[in-house]
Amino acid sequence: MPPQPIVLYRRRWTLLFQVPFTLLMVACLAYSVLLIYAADNKLLTLIGSVGAFTSFCIAGTFGRSAWEAYREREPVVVIDESGITDLRDEDSHTVPWQAMERVLLDITENTIRVKLRTSSTESAIGVIVKALQRWQRGGDLVFLLGGLAYDARQVQMALRAHYAAAVPRRSALQ
């Protein structure tokens, strides 16, 4: 019996915190703009300008994130018998289990790190470049799980079961 697929969605309950905070930042932005126009003092104008810029940046970031969480209702990451698929990209594709040498769920970083199998036909420079990229990112491929609703134990078991079913000879899941 093949393992059950795991489908990860965006956390929508965070909207309860993001929307009020975004509205608070919009109110701070409005107050800062009012302070800029009402103040005759250069110091108050400078403080209001910095406050307006900061409020705008924070409100924009949280507002966009809240809008994406509200709008996106379809799956974001799918772990099934064919591999791991990240659907957030425009050109989403599945990374097959046979192409993976090692899969690691990093709970502290909220990521799935994948080390791909290396080809024996690659040049020495290509191997060095890939090793440096792997060292910098923590793997050849990194699937970000931040902002997604998931149970770490369930994802870990699914990764282990799917990898073992697809690559039965060498189980290198950590």
Residue 76 lies in a domain: no
Please tell me whether residues 20 and 42 are part of one structural domain.
Answer: yes
| C-alpha–C-alpha distance, residues 126 and 44, integer Å | 55
Structural domain including 29 reads: 9-71
| CB of 146 closer than 8 Å to CB of 88 | no
For the chain, the average pLDDT equals 85
**Whether the predicted model's global pTM rises above the 0.85 cut:** no
The pLDDT of residue 67 is: 87
Task: For residue 77, tell me if it sits in a domain.
Answer: no
- How far apart (Å, rounded) are the C-alpha atoms in residues 102 and 159? 11
pLDDT of residue 170 exceeding 60, the answer is: no
Residues 113 and 133 in one domain: yes
Residue 174 covered by a domain: no
Number of domains, the chain: 2
139 neighbors 172 (Cβ within 8 angstroms): no
What's the token pair of residue 78?
């799918």
Q: What is the mean pLDDT of residues 35-50?
A: 91
Whether residue 171 is predicted with pLDDT greater than 50 in this model: the reply is: no
Distances (CA, A) of 144 to 107, 110, 153: 11, 6, 16
On whether both 95 and 162 belong to a single domain, the answer is yes
**Residue ending a domain, choose from 35, 52, 71:** 71
User: Is residue 41 included in any domain, yes or no?
Assistant: yes
